[in-house]
Amino acid sequence: MSATPERQVRQTPSDIRARKGGVPVACLTAYTTPMAKLVDRACDLVLVGDSVGMVLHGLPSTLGVTMEMMILHGRAVARGVERACLVVDMPFGSYEESPQQAMRNAARLLAETGCQAVKLEGGRHMAETVAFLVARGIPVMGHVGLTPQAVNALGGYKVQGRGADAERIADDAAALADAGAFAVVLEKLPESLGTRITQTILVPTIGIGAGAGCDGQVLVVDDMLGLFSDFRPKFVKRYEEMGEAAGHAISAYADDVRAGRFPAPEHGFSD
């Protein structure tokens, strides 16, 4: 009689929080089941980011992303995740009005996707909402620095936290940690500020363009795989150029079809 396969141990928000100061946390985004399966094999955190609006839906920013979109992609990713901690972004307009609004929508995300936590953007002004959610059993990941949902107020996707603005962002991160966030994303900050915040707050920092001093790192998976060759943020390391390879494969297919080389006899069925 064969032994029962050992079940994978699922990472939880508490496990991620306990990684503070330890082995850095590896996180990537995912928006589909096949990609989620690949990311889940190697990463500690899988994030269904509202970046899905720009990456998969062609939107100019994340502002047009809806709850329905996040639930759709959250469900798809949940089907592919067995061991990593799964976090889903709360889209713009779903939590800013009040803690009660945030509670309704966060509860819906957890119930309808099977995720373990939600992520929301904003600093001190969101601390009350974070505390409200955490007190009611919803783990929250914070996000400060460049917050894409506030791109219009910030004047574009530029580096934050330079000069006098550094103290504001450091205070924002501390406020979220004090409110009960289990981790805080630091986006597009000077490396020295990312390191200082990491050394100051008691929960892990997950950097994206905030330097190597953070407790972990996150990237949009499509960026690091090179699926979009025309978009190259400075903070992204390209591990592959899959977009270029896919383009060559698609061109070869189209050429074969037009030249009558595909399908060949081995691709057909006999009588």
Which residues are marked as active site? 187
128 is in an annotated binding site: no
CB atoms within 10 A of CB 190: 19
51 is in an annotated binding site: yes
Which of these, 192, 211, 224, lies nearest to 43 by C-alpha position?
A: 224
Q: State the Cα torsion 219-221-226-228 to the nearest 10°.
A: -100
50 is in an annotated binding site: yes
Amino acid identity of 101? Answer: Q
CB atoms within 10 A of CB 228: 14
CB atoms within 10 A of CB 267: 7
Burial class of 260 by CB neighbour count within 10 A (0 to 12, 13 to 18, 19+): exposed
Which residues sit in the known binding site? Answer: 50-51, 89, 119, 121
Which residues sit in the known binding site for 3-methyl-2-oxobutanoate? Answer: 50-51, 89, 119
Which residues sit in the known binding site for Mg(2+)? Answer: 50, 89, 121
